[in-house]
Amino acid sequence: MPTAREALLDAAHSALSRQSWTSVRMVDVAARAGVSRQTLYNEFGSKDGLARALIRRAADGYLAGVDRTLGADRRQGDGPAELARWTVRAAGANVLVKALLTGVWGERLPRPVVPAAGPRAGQALPTPGELLMLVRDRAVVALREGPAAQDRARLELTCEIALRLAVSYTLVPADPAAGRAGGAPKAQAEDPESCSPMTPTITREIDTSFSVETTSSRKTMP
């Protein structure tokens, strides 16, 4: 059974899927979670506090998925491609993950406000560039532990290319009609687990990047 905090975050996320954040009312979030409004304020302090917690949970969920994707049983050659696929799936399933990865915070979304007081005072969420580097470095550590350890510089570049391709795809998804016989349109898959239009291109680019020779241990994409 979820805790009151999780129930409130679930209720807030559900509300956000139906209306803009400015229209979400604390009393409605509390009612949907089955708790009192006072419990909501005790947990988060304010609507900004609720927004920060909601965004933080989205970031933590994405990173947890990164860790699962890069599990110990993952073959190294698949790692960067699987990381790209997970990134696209996560961004497609949660608008807050998409905003964290791209930096595009639409009018409907809560904005990440840096708290002026409390245990997280002055702690801002990572920028898209910082989040990408954090995930890249996690991937490098996880993939270098495999039996076919690679040069770190090449692996850094490969993982960064994979992530940048994935983020690009979240901003400009593939044309759902592309590759269809006779040009007949096909609806984009609603299931966030499906990102097949991206997979062949992503995989080719990642495979190519493994052959790129680098000399700098901190080479990054422009």
Please report where in the chains the tokens 């609603």 appear, as a residue: 190
Q: Give the C-alpha separation, 203 to 34, whole Å.
A: 46
Once rounded to an integer, what is the mean pLDDT over residues 201-207? Answer: 52
Name the percent of the chain lying above pLDDT 70: 66
Residue 200, pLDDT > 60, answer no
The predicted pLDDT at position 186 comes to 44
pLDDT in tens, 163-189: 999 999 998 876 655 555 555 444 433
Once rounded to an integer, what is the mean pLDDT over residues 69-91? Answer: 80
Mean pLDDT taken over the chain: 77
Q: Can you give the chain as a three-state secondary structure string?
A: CCCHHHHHHHHHHHHHHHCCHHHCCHHHHHHHHCCCHHHHHHHHCCHHHHHHHHHHHHHHHHHHHHHHHCCCCCCHHHHHHHHHHHHHHHHHHCHHHHHHHHCCCCCCCCCCCCCCCCCCCCCCCCCHHHHHHHHHHHHHHHHHCCCCCCCHHHHHHHHHHHHHHHHHHHHCCCCCCCCCHHHCCCCCCCCCCCCCCCHHHHHHHHHHHCCCCCCCCCCCCC
Q: At what angle do helices 37-44 and 47-69 cross, to 10 degrees?
A: 60
Distances (CA, A) of 30 to 19, 23, 49, 91, 112: 16, 14, 14, 27, 21
Please report where in the chains the tokens 């850094």 appear, as a residue: 156
- Residue 126 structure tokens: 């990572």
The predicted pLDDT at position 144 comes to 76
Residue 203 binned pLDDT confidence (cut-offs 50, 70, 90): low
